[in-house]
Amino acid sequence: MSVLELLTQGDGVSRSVAALLLAMSISSWVVILWKAWLLRGGTRDVLRSIAAFWQSTTLADAEQRLKAFDRATLVLPAVSAIKNAAADVNSATLGATGDRNQRLTRALREALHGALRRLQSGQILLATVGATAPFVGLLGTVWGIYGALSGIAGQSGGFTIDKVAGPVGEALVMTAFGLAVAIPAVLAYNVFGRVIGRVEAELEGFAHDLLGSFGSAPAPAAPPPARPMPVSA
């Protein structure tokens, strides 16, 4: 029996398992292709963008230069956050309260979290597909074996191996489907996880450098009070 015949002639449970595995496969491959495009440069684009920023003369010049290097838009939000924090100094909102370091820290944290959300998006789906697809395929196999054995038991004649091998072998195809769906998802999750970890480290270091360069210098500590001179008798 071909795969198409196995799916078309199966019962509702077999079709549901096959449809679920197909949906998991399509969704995981969509995420894999999208994240491969997003992380196609790895840390190289981030390092080149950071280098282009420090070689710029002004923030406006840095934004223009980053558009050519920051294809995934991971570094540019931090630069925009610096500009917006500087523009909100005279604003009458609660966001403008506090000293310069506090405003920059808040703006950089929001920009960094936004970039990290983009990097981490889809990772949960890949992990879920990689962990559950084999069990979904196993469910289809168990149900197929149960149906095959039930059908054989209802047949007349002797119980021979050829009557068991065919239906059981067809039921094992579901397990193969589950593994075929899970293996690419697990491999992609591990590869993307390594790249995302390196990019996160570079972005966090860049945000720390921005805060040190554009933040206000800490106020000097007040000198200790002078000790009174002892009065001699």
Domain extent listing, the chain: 3-214
Torsion (CA) 128, 131, 137, 141 in degrees, nearest 10 = -140
Sign of CA dihedral 82, 86, 91, 94: positive
Residue with tokens 């397990």: 175
- pTM for this structure? 0.74
User: What is the residue-level pLDDT of the chain in tens, covering all 233 positions?
Assistant: 455 555 555 667 778 888 899 899 999 999 999 999 888 877 888 888 888 888 888 888 888 888 888 888 888 888 888 877 765 555 555 555 556 778 888 888 888 888 888 889 899 999 999 999 999 988 888 887 777 777 666 665 555 666 666 566 667 888 888 999 999 999 999 999 999 999 989 888 888 888 888 766 444 444 555 555 555 54
Whether residue 68 contacts residue 223, with contact meaning beta carbons closer than 8 Å, is answered with: no
How many other β-carbons are positioned within 10 Å of the β-carbon of residue 159? 9
Q: Report the distance separating Cα 157 and Cα 226, nearest Å.
A: 110
Residue 227, pLDDT score: 59
Contact, 82 vs 214, CB < 8 A? yes
Under a CB-based contact definition with an 8 Å cutoff, are residues 129 and 185 in contact? yes
Contacts of 133 (CB under 8 A, 6+ apart): 21, 24, 25, 178, 179, 181, 182, 185
Choose among 186, 203, 216, 207: nearest CA to 32. Answer: 186
Q: What is the pLDDT of residue 24?
A: 93
Asked if 130 contacts 27 with a C-beta cutoff of 8 angstroms, the reply is no
Contacts of 149 (CB under 8 A, 6+ apart): 164, 167
